[in-house]
C-alpha cells in the first residue's frame, strides 16, 4: 500500500469497477471520494455506508464530467469534502455501438467527452497539487479497446486508444515529480456495462443469458471468463504502493490473453 492514508478520487465509483476500487482502497484505510450519476441522497448514503464499513472518511459528488466545468466541479467537490486528491482513478466510461458510417455524431461526442476529455480535464486539475507534494498516482481505466479494435466501437476504440496516449504523455511530463501515470486495459469485466451486450445476444440467438455471456466472452478471450472487478481494485492497490514507484507510462492488459493473440 501507499505509505500513508491517501485521498483517492475515483470517477464513476458508484458501480462496477469503480466501486470495487473504492472498496479495495477503503479497506486499506484510504480516504475515498465516491462519484457517479446518482441522486445526492443515494450517493451520500453509499458514502456513509462505505465510511462506516471500513472506518474511513468518504465523500460523494454527482458532478457530470462530460464537460470541462463538470470535471472541475468534481475536483472542487473533492477538495471541499475530503481534501486534495493524491490518487486519481479515471474510471467513468460509457459505450455506444454502431457502424462507423452510421455512428450518430452526438454519440461520438458523448463517448469522447466522458472517456477521453474528462480524464484530460481531471488530470490537468489534479497534477499541479501532486507536483507540489512531489507524489501522486494516476490510473486511467482504458480497455483492450485502447490496444486493439473491435467492429462497431469507433468512438469507444478511439477514446480508449487516446487515453493510452494521454497516459504516456502525463507519465513523461511528471516523471520528475514522483508522480506515476498508468493505464489498465481490461477485457471483459463482470459489471453492468456489459449486460446490454449479453442481453442483446441472448435475444438475437434465443439462448439463455449464461450461454450468451460465455459465447460473447469466449469469442474474444482465450480465457472465456470475465474478470472480477475486485482484481482491478487489487491492481490499483499495487500501483499506488511504494513497490510500484517506477511503474509509469504502462498500459497493463487484464484480458484473459485477448491481446496476446
Ligand atoms: P459501469 O457502467 O458500472 O460504471 C460506469 C460509471 O461511470 C458509473 O458509475 C456512471 O455513473 C459513471 N458515469 C458515466 N457517465 C458519466 C458522466 N457523464 N459523469 C459522471 N459519471 C459518469 O461500468 P464499468 O464496467 O464499471 O466501467 C468502468 C470503466 O471500465 C469504464 O471506463 C469502461 O470503459 C472500462 N472498461 C470496462 C470493461 C467491462 O468489461 N466492464 C472492460 C474494459 C474497460
Residues of the chain with CATH 3.40.50.720: 7-188+228-260
156 catalytically annotated: yes
To test the ligand 1 pocket, which listed residue (10, 11, 16, 121) has its Cβ within 8 A of the most ligand atoms? 16
pLDDT tens string 184-220: 999 999 998 899 989 999 999 999 999 999 999 999 9
Does residue 1 register a pLDDT over 50?
A: no
Split at pLDDT 50, 70, 90, the class of 34 is very high
Q: How far is the CA of 176 from the centre of ligand 1 (A)?
A: 31
Does residue 16 register a pLDDT over 80?
A: yes
Grid cell locating 66 = 462530460
Does residue 3 register a pLDDT over 70?
A: no
With pLDDT > 70 as the criterion, what percentage of the chain qualifies?
99
Split at pLDDT 50, 70, 90, the class of 2 is very low
Q: Provide mean pLDDT across the span 7-13.
A: 98
Split at pLDDT 50, 70, 90, the class of 4 is confident
Q: How far is the CA of 216 from the centre of ligand 1 (A)?
A: 19
Ligand 1 pocket list (CB less than 6 A): 12, 14-18, 36-37, 64-66, 91-94, 114, 141, 143, 186, 188-189, 191-194
Give me the CATH code for the 7-188+228-260 domain, please.
3.40.50.720
Amino acid at each position: 500500500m501507499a505509505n500513508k492514508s491517501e485521498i483517492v478520487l475515483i470517477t464513476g465509483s458508484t458501480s462496477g469497477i469503480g466501486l470495487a476500487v473504492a472498496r479495495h482502497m477503503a479497506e486499506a484505510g484510504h480516504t475515498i471520494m465516491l462519484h457517479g450519476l446518482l441522486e445526492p441522497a443515494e450517493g451520500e448514503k453509499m458514502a456513509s455506508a462505505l465510511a462506516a464499513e471500513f472506518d474511513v472518511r468518504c465523500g460523494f459528488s454527482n458532478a457530470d464530467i462530460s464537460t470541462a466545468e463538470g470535471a472541475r466541479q468534481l475536483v472542487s467537490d473533492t477538495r471541499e469534502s475530503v481534501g486534495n486528491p493524491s490518487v486519481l482513478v479515471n474510471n467513468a466510461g460509457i459505450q455506444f455501438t454502431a457502424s462507423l458510417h452510421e455512428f450518430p455524431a452526438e454519440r461520438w461526442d458523448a463517448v469522447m467527452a466522458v472517456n477521453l476529455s474528462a480524464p484530460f480535464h481531471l488530470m490537468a486539475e489534479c497534477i499541479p497539487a501532486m507536483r507540489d507534494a512531489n507524489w501522486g498516482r494516476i490510473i486511467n481505466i482504458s480497455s483492450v479497446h485502447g490496444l486493439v479494435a473491435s467492429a462497431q466501437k469507433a468512438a469507444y476504440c478511439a477514446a480508449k486508444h487516446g487515453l493510452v496516449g494521454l497516459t504516456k504523455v502525463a507519465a513523461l511530463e511528471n516523471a520528475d515529480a514522483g508522480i506515476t501515470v498508468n493505464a489498465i486495459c481490461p477485457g471483459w469485466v463482470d459489471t453492468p456495462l456489459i449486460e446490454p451486450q449479453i442481453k442483446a445476444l441472448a435475444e438475437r440467438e434465443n439462448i439463455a443469458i449464461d450461454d450468451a455471456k460465455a459465447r460473447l466472452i469466449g469469442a474474444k478471450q482465450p480465457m472465456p471468463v470475465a474478470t472480477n472487478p475486485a482484481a482491478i481494485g487489487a491492481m490499483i492497490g499495487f500501483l499506488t504502493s511504494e513497490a510500484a514507484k517506477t511503474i509509469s507510462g504502462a498500459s497493463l492488459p487484464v484480458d484473459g490473453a485477448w491481446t496476446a493473440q
